[in-house]
Amino acid sequence: MSCDDGDFDVPSFVFSSNVQKCGDLILYNISDDSKEVLILNLAENDTIFFITPQVNASFPLTNKISYRVFNTNVSSSYFCQDIPPVSPSIIEEWNGSGTLIVNNTINSDDNDGVQELDLELDSDLDGIPDYIDKDDDNDGILTTNELDLDNDGDNFLDFLDTDGDGIPNHLDSDDDGDGILTIYEKRTDSNANDIVDYLDPSFAVTQAAFLVEPNQYTTYYTTTFTINNLSLSNNNGNVINYDNYEYGAITGEQIIKE
């Protein structure tokens, strides 16, 4: 940071790493001492789509950055209101420009209990890769319900292979190997031997196909913001400059239903 002559106090200019937002057009970051805020006002066509990967998207923020110092603590409830409240009051205001650099990191997971590192693998060839497919073999039984407990303590559920054919149940379209696909076998125990039909090789009766639920998974995103050539000035002609200012990040998650 460079100042013109140091005859003013910049209270801290140390902000949280967590950026907050009002809608998609106002980003703000409250300082660690809760008395300062750095606000970015995006234009309508600058809307940042947090879920869409926009690696190194950049937005010119000409005269759209405000740095405010308040007389007392300001909380997030101060923002996102049509008419800003009277208190706390602004005791100093700086305005300026910069270029906002947006970098998105996105990870998706079906949280089905299986570690699925190959993002291309689509075991049941339904067009949904395993790591976001909650029913990896499309047999109507969710993967999470086709696994054993974590017996070896590696924090992943263990595989089951009911028919011992080397294909674990969550990837086996005929779990009990009786020749009738799981999707056509009842989920109840027809012959009262305490084994549900689709896992019971001694009971092989074809039913109407069971429904496969629509897929669903979770997307986790981290959007980081850097302001290039941040330049702020106040009415006294004081200037705050940064070449690359790390503004912070927004993290979140979203359920994707297909």
Per CB under 5 A, residues contacting Ca ion are 122, 124, 126, 128, 133, 135, 137, 139, 141, 161, 163, 165, 167, 172, 174, 176, 178, 180
Q: How far is the CB of 76 from Ca ion (least distance, A)?
A: 41
Closer by beta carbon to Ca ion, 57 or else 167 = 167
Cis peptide before 88 (omega within 30 of 0): yes
Q: How many angstroms separate the CA atoms of 49 and 52, rounded?
A: 5
Closer by beta carbon to Ca ion, 92 or else 172 = 172
Structure tokens at 59: 């937005």
Closer by beta carbon to Ca ion, 55 or else 205 = 205
Closer by beta carbon to Ca ion, 13 or else 159 = 159
Q: How far is the CB of 28 from Ca ion (least distance, A)?
A: 41
Residue holding tokens 């003013």?
A: 8
Closer by beta carbon to Ca ion, 23 or else 214 = 214
Q: How far is the CB of 107 from Ca ion (least distance, A)?
A: 18
Q: How far is the CB of 157 from Ca ion (least distance, A)?
A: 13
Q: How far is the CB of 125 from Ca ion (least distance, A)?
A: 7
Closer by beta carbon to Ca ion, 215 or else 238 = 215
Q: How far is the CB of 194 from Ca ion (least distance, A)?
A: 17
Pairing verdict, β 20-22 and 36-41: unpaired
Q: Is the dihedral of CA 56, 59, 61, 62 positive or negative?
A: positive
Q: Report the amino acid identity of residue 196.
A: V
Which residues are paired to 26 by β-bridges? 22, 41
Closer by beta carbon to Ca ion, 92 or else 178 = 178
DSSP letters of 5-41? SS-S------B-SB-EEETTTEEEEEBTTSSEEEEEE
Q: How far is the CB of 111 from Ca ion (least distance, A)?
A: 15
